[in-house]
Chains A and B, each alone.
Chain A
Amino acid sequence: DAGITQSPRHKVTETGTPVTLRCHQTENHRYMYWYRQDPGHGLRLIHYSYGVKDTDKGEVSDGYSVSRSKTEDFLLTLESATSSQTSVYFCAISESTSSYEQYFGPGTRLTVT
């Protein structure tokens, strides 16, 4: 299995509070992604990164920000959590040279009450 961890794995928080999810990889892959998965919507891309300090928006980026100060870490921040952000969040990594396969972390279940 690719070396990807996510923390926390489960979190319950209240509306209006800030939340930061962490994705950590040990593969030295260039690309990192944050997705959310909701019933009926499949996986939707929130933000992705193509290198340290290089990030771009996905299709559902409103309400989320990201940072990547080191190759191995990609942080997703909800500045002020809302109930609509209750979801399962997956991080993924890929390497752009020999392979475009994408490997997923175990996921974080976030509940905003």
Chain B
Amino acid sequence: EDKVVQSPLSLVVHEGDTVTLNCSYEVTNFRSLLWYKQEKKAPTFLFMLTSSGIEKKSGRLSSILDKKELFSILNITATQTGDSAVYLCAWRGRNNDMRFGAGTRLTVKP
């Protein structure tokens, strides 16, 4: 059965810390892996990864995919309280179906 596993499930840090969120997957027909941020509403898109070893970067956030070891990481440097959210990763298959992980709840304290 296809599955996407995120770790840790929750994380509490202080402003200025760097965090690494993990996403591992066991799926068939891999097409792409996506990261989303969800605050108290709908998820918002962060990154889409299709190729191994190529880092995607947006401000303090970056992400990379390892297709051989079947995982992706999302890094956030110099965290701010506004980074507090649930971070979701999702696998997109060749049929364009989607499978999400349960998410990592990040809390950034002042």
Chain A interface size, under 10 / 10 to 19 / 20 to 34 / 35 or more:
20 to 34
Q: Which residues of A contact B32 (CB under 8 A)?
A: 100
* B97 engages A43 (CB within 8 Å): no
Q: Does B31 contact A (CB under 8 A)?
A: yes
Which of B41, B88, B96 is A43 in contact with, Cβ under 8 Å?
B88
Q: Which residues of A contact B100 (CB under 8 A)?
A: 35, 42-45
* A100 engages B48 (CB within 8 Å): yes
Given A43-B43, A104-B42, A105-B42, A56:B48 Cβ within 8 A: no
* B88 engages A56 (CB within 8 Å): no
Q: Which residues of B contact A105 (CB under 8 A)?
A: 42
Q: Which residues of A contact B102 (CB under 8 A)?
A: 40-42
Q: Which residues of A contact B41 (CB under 8 A)?
A: 106-107
Given A42-B88, A43-B88, A43-B90, A104:B99 Cβ within 8 A: no
Which of A40, A45, A107 is B98 in contact with, Cβ under 8 Å?
A45
The interface centre, meaning the residue of A42, A44, A48, A105 with most chain B CB atoms within 10 A of its CB, is A42
Q: Which residue of B lies closest to A6 (CB)?
A: B42
Q: Which residues of B contact A42 (CB under 8 A)?
A: 88, 100-103
* B43 engages A104 (CB within 8 Å): yes
Q: Which residues of A contact B43 (CB under 8 A)?
A: 43, 90, 104
6 closest Cβ pairs, A-B complex: A104-B42, A43-B100, A42-B102, A42-B100, A101-B45, A42-B103
**5 other contacts beyond A45-B98, A58-B98, A107-B42, with CB at 8 A cut-off?**
A50-B96, A100-B32, A101-B48, A102-B34, A104-B43
Using CB atoms and an 8 Å cutoff, list the residues of chain A in contact with chain B: 31, 33, 35, 40-45, 48, 50, 56, 58-59, 90, 94, 96, 99-107
